[in-house]
Amino acid sequence: MPKITYILPDGLETVLDAEPGTSVMRTAVSNGVPGIVAECGGSAMCATCHVYVETEDTEGLPAVSDVEDEMLDCTASERCANSRLSCQLQVSEDITVRLPETQV
């Protein structure tokens, strides 16, 4: 099973096993990881599931769609080059994401 590492804003790390094909958002929410609000439940409508991808090799990740790109312009914390919506990140390999200061 792929492992997802969540780095919380205070530096604490949580490591979770993810079912292949589930999203970084869904895995966080169903395990009670704080800091991912995911108000819209994964429909790419709310931009409250923002993460920064810290993994160097991002080859295996799904590409940023137009909708995600636009939504990333609406995040509450600053958008960076490694910003993604975690609801759009289906995992197949280990990944490390850092959570922003705020989602709303």
Partner 1 sequence: MTIQSTAQEVPVLELDPFSDEFLNDPYEAHEQMREAGPVFWLERYQLYGVARHAEVSQVLADHETYVSSRGVGISDFAKEKPWRPPSLLLEADPPHHTKARHVVSHIMTPKVLRGLKEGFQERADELVARVAAGKGTVDGVADLAEAYPLEIFPDFIGLPKDGRENLLPYGSMVFNTFGPRNSHFERAMERGATAQAWIMEQCQPGAPAPDGLGAKIHAAAAEAGYDEVDQAKLLRSFLSAGVDTTVHGIGNALQCLAENPEQFGYLREDPSLARAAFEETVRYSSPVQTFFRTTNKDAELSGMRIPEGSKVLMFLAAANRDPRQWENPARFDIRRKAAGHVGFGFGVHACLGQMLARLEGECFLTALARHVEKLEPAGEPVQQLNNTLRGLDSLPLRLTAA
**Under rule CB under 6 A, residue 97 binds ligand FES:** no
94's CB contacts (< 8 A; 6+ apart) are 2, 3, 4, 5, 55
Instruction: Determine if 18 is a binding residue for partner 1 (CB under 8 A).
Output: no
User: Three-state DSSP class for 13?
Assistant: strand
Contacts with ligand FES, 54-83, as mask; x by CB under 6 A: -----------------x------------
* CA angle in degrees (0–180, nearest 5) for 57-61-67: 130
Segment interacting with ligand FES (CB under 6 A) among 13-21, 44-52, 76-84, 90-98: 44-52
User: What does the binding site for partner 1 look like in residue numbers (CB under 8 A)?
Assistant: 29, 37-43, 45-47, 66-67, 70-71, 73-74
